[in-house]
Structure 1
């Protein structure tokens, strides 16, 4: 199977890039969601603690994802010389597009935008932005795991392909010439 550049990115520097580019953003997004849910369930001082933790997680996600996107835009994407078709583009750029809702969530958590909104409207905007962030990052994951050949990518003829008929492993018990 041929990998997308998104999957290659995650496989670089194992397990650190997988943790940085997939685990951390998704765990932060899920933490924000959990805090919002528990903040709605509790109508006392626990609600305030959940909201505080959610705000801190939102700020962390925004800053972290801005830095991750800058890294991709400056160091990773320019190094790609051979894009592997539309699936490859969708995987990489949908991940990078997730920076838009992440930045808007950050700005709202810092009180830079949305100051005039009441509590309900602010929560609705937060929910929409968080959903957009999750949709973009999940598009990246789903398309990133797909084989680029599904959308018509044809790998160069000199690329390595695994041919189990011609592989010679010392543990193979049969002789290829005996057939």
Structure 2
């Protein structure tokens, strides 16, 4: 019996190494940079140093970058897969859905750091919200990865 892969994993495996770099490496490296600098900022309480600047720049870049990824994949993958009934079961939908849900925390961080949201909050309150956003992103990204690596036939009914 041939094993299937989710559309998430197929996307990363196709056009090597470019899709892996564009859809996984860039967002994850930026998110990890944010998470690490966020911890250092929270521990030191240095809200104006170089780490905070790096954190802010990485947040804005990844938020705007992932917005482009989201729009591209929604138009070129989600809509056609849905219209043509080509989803490969529960694991496939969860993997792609959770991957794309990363737009909420990533864009949230970018908007926060661009001063579009959270303007009336203190710097420490914004940092706490920022840390919450990166935590949410790490959770949804890992759920996407776990379900994305599954053989989607595991959740399909056998007839």
Indicate the larger mover: 117-126 or 31-40. Answer: 31-40
Q: Which segment is superposed worse, 76-85 or 121-130?
A: 76-85
Shift in CA distance, 44/92, structure 1 to aligned 2, threshold 3 Å: closer
In structure 1, the gaps of 5 or more residues are 156-179
Q: Does 1:118 align with 2:83?
A: no
Residue correspondence of structure 1 range 1-179 to structure 2 within 5 A: 1-42=3-44, 48-80=49-81, 81=84, 82-152=86-156
Give TM-score, length-normalised by structure 1. Answer: 0.79
RMSD of aligned Cα (Å) = 1.9
Whether the aligned pair in 2 keeps the contact of 1:84 and 1:153 (CA below 8 Å) is no
State how far apart, in whole Å, the 1-side matches of 2:46 and 2:4 are: 53
**Structure 1 outlier segments of 4+, above 6 Å:** none
Taking the aligned partners of 1:59 and 1:117, their CA distance within structure 2 comes to 18
The superposition leaves residues 87-134 of structure 1 with CA deviations (integer Å, 9 ceiling, x where unpaired) of: 100001111111011111111000111111112211111111111111
Q: Which has the higher contact order (CA 8 A, sep 6+)?
A: 2
Superposed displacement of residue 23, structure 1 = 1.0
TM-score (norm 2): 0.89
Matched residues, number: 154
| Residue segments in structure 2 that go unaligned for 5+ positions in a row | none
